[in-house]
């Protein structure tokens, strides 16, 4: 195993929570499952908490439905592809909406407030679209499962966030958003309040534009929701403590192109900018260097000769063979440009990070990663197994 992979394996071994973050579509869900697979093979009881995995991947992980309990990946599935895990692997799909509901259930001071919130028409909207609710619910679920203590390692996949702050700061941001002065202005009783005593005129005026039903719902929602703040704040502090302690580490997943690398570096800075918090970078979908540069400079005749009478060349006359060889060389040259660009970007990333922080590379596979077998290919690339 290469030093980088060894360092990463040691990191995975030493943590109880690993959070995979990164921009949309870079491979967070894939990487989370791969880290889980590795740890399960090494003997840990692992739970992979995924968010919106591709259907086929969900199937191969045995995930039945959103919000269902963690489901184990049966031993036979591993054995089919020649693996014999020393530990176990469970997977579960996070249901943000459900998690947020259970948060309300937990923190509402009484049945009335609970009902008022859950039945409120605006709650549906707020619980799914207010900045940070999804991330909050994910962090909350992670905390709950961590406290239950059934797993040695929980790997948390994260939603595609527009920037890194969303995830780590979601708990505080959510509380702040609802508790903001503008919101207070709306629901706190008093002369300055829009919905407090003596505001009939304002409501009447606003109603013309927004509909009185909306105003009433908003007022009811915010009043009931305000009862949750204390619980939310306490819980947010605990979640943050877990995510910033030695128990947890973050793994930044990125594509190896310039734009994504910049975003990944931004994530790194926002997560604290040091490798005690961010344990590793995974550069995913790296174009491999197939052909050495000197070979790309070969005349196409030599490529044609090298191809000899392979299947590919069968049935082509001499000039077609020459054209075919040219096409292959041009194609390989173009591919090499991509490979070189990837390498440059990864070098730029390495130059900006501490030497001891492992940067792992996963090649661009010609197929999607939708099965345990596919995950195992990625695992081999990351852990150099
Ligand atoms: N190294 C790779 N080679 C080829 N395909 C890959 C590779 N890594 C991931 N994929 C495929 O790319 C797609 C996106 O990967 P994945 O779902 O893991 O990304 P994500 O970061 O979780 O996306 P989202 O932000 O939408 O949640 C999937 O179809 C996956 O199978
Ligand atoms: Mg995903």
By CB atoms closer than 10 A (0-12, 13-18, 19+), residue 2 is exposed
The packing angle between helices 111-118 and 96-107, to 10°, is 150
CA quadruple 53, 55, 59, 60: dihedral, nearest 10: -70
Q: Given this model, what pLDDT does residue 285 score?
A: 97
Which residues of the chain are under the pLDDT cut of 70?
1, 65-68, 96-97, 99, 124-126, 128-134, 161-214
> 364 and 311, same structural domain?
no
> 329 and 353, same structural domain?
no
Q: Given this model, what pLDDT does residue 102 score?
A: 78
pLDDT digits (tens, 9 = 90+) for 340-380: 999 999 999 999 999 999 999 999 999 999 999 999 999 99
> 200 and 337, same structural domain?
no
> 379 and 234, same structural domain?
yes
Query: Could you give the angle at the alpha carbon of 103 between the alpha carbons of 58 and 133, nearest 5°?
Result: 65
> 124 and 224, same structural domain?
yes
> 329 and 245, same structural domain?
no
> 158 and 79, same structural domain?
yes
List residues near ligand 1 (CB under 6 A).
22, 24-30, 52, 54, 160, 284-285, 362, 364-365, 368-370
What residue numbers bound the domain in which 253 lies? 3-289+342-383
> 360 and 277, same structural domain?
yes
> 140 and 202, same structural domain?
yes
| Ligand 1 atom closest to 22 (CA) | 21
Q: Which residue's CA is minimally distant from atom 15 of ligand 1?
A: 27
Domain count for the chain: 2
Which residue is listed with tokens 């030695």?
Answer: 246
* Residue 179 alpha carbon to ligand 1 centre in Å: 37
> 270 and 362, same structural domain?
yes
Q: Given this model, what pLDDT does residue 204 score?
A: 52
26, 29, 260, best to mutate for ligand 1 pocket (most atoms within 8 Å of CB): 29
* Residue 372 alpha carbon to ligand 2 centre in Å: 16
> 218 and 313, same structural domain?
no
* Residue 14 alpha carbon to ligand 2 centre in Å: 24
Task: Note the ligand closest to the C-alpha atom of 21.
Answer: 1
Q: Given this model, what pLDDT does residue 202 score?
A: 46
> 326 and 284, same structural domain?
no
* Residue 35 alpha carbon to ligand 2 centre in Å: 14
Q: Given this model, what pLDDT does residue 131 score?
A: 58
**CATH number (domain holding residue 190):** 3.40.50.300
pTM of the model: 0.83
């Amino acid at each position: 195993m290469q030093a980088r992979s060894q360092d990463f394996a040691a990191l995975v071994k030493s943590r109880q929570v690993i959070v995979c973050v990164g921009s949309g579509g870079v491979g967070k869900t894939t990487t989370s499952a791969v880290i889980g697979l590795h740890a399960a093979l090494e003997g840990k009881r692992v739970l992979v908490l995924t968010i919106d995995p591709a259907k086929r991947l969900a199937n191969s992980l045995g995930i039945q439905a959103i919000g269902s309990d963690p489901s184990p990946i049966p031993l036979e599935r591993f054995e089919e592809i020649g693996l014999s895990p020393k530990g176990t692997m469970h997977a579960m799909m996070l249901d943000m909406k459900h998690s947020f509901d259970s948060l309300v259930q937990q923190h509402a001071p009484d049945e009335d407030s609970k009902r008022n919130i859950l039945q409120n028409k605006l709650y549906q909207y707020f619980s799914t679209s207010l900045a940070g609710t999804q991330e909050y619910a994910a962090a909350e679920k992670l905390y709950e499962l961590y406290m239950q203590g059934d797993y040695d390692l929980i790997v948390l996949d994260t939603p595609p966030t527009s920037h890194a702050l969303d995830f780590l700061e979601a708990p505080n941001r959510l509380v702040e958003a609802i508790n903001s002065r503008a919101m207070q202005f709306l629901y706190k009783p008093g002369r300055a309040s829009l919905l407090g005593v003596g505001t009939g005129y304002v409501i009447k005026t606003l109603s013309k534009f927004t509909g009185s039903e909306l105003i009433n719902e908003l007022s009811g929602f915010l009043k009931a929701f305000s009862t949750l703040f204390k619980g939310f704040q306490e819980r947010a502090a605990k979640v943050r403590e877990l995510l910033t302690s030695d128990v947890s580490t973050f793994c930044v997943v990125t594509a190896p192109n310039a734009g994504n690398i910049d975003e990944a570096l931004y994530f790194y800075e926002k997560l604290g900018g040091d490798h005690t918090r961010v344990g590793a970078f995974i550069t995913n979908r790296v174009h491999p260097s197939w052909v050495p540069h000197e070979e790309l400079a070969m005349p196409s005749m030599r490529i044609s000769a090298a191809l000899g009478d392979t299947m590919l060349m069968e049935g082509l006359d001499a000039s077609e063979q020459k054209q075919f060889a040219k096409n292959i060389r041009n194609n390989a040259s173009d591919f090499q440009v991509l490979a070189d660009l990837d390498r440059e970007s990864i070098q730029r990333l390495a130059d900006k990070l501490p030497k001891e922080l492992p940067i792992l590379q996963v090649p661009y596979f010609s197929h999607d990663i939708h099965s345990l077998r596919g995950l195992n290919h990625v695992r081999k690339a990351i852990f150099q197994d």
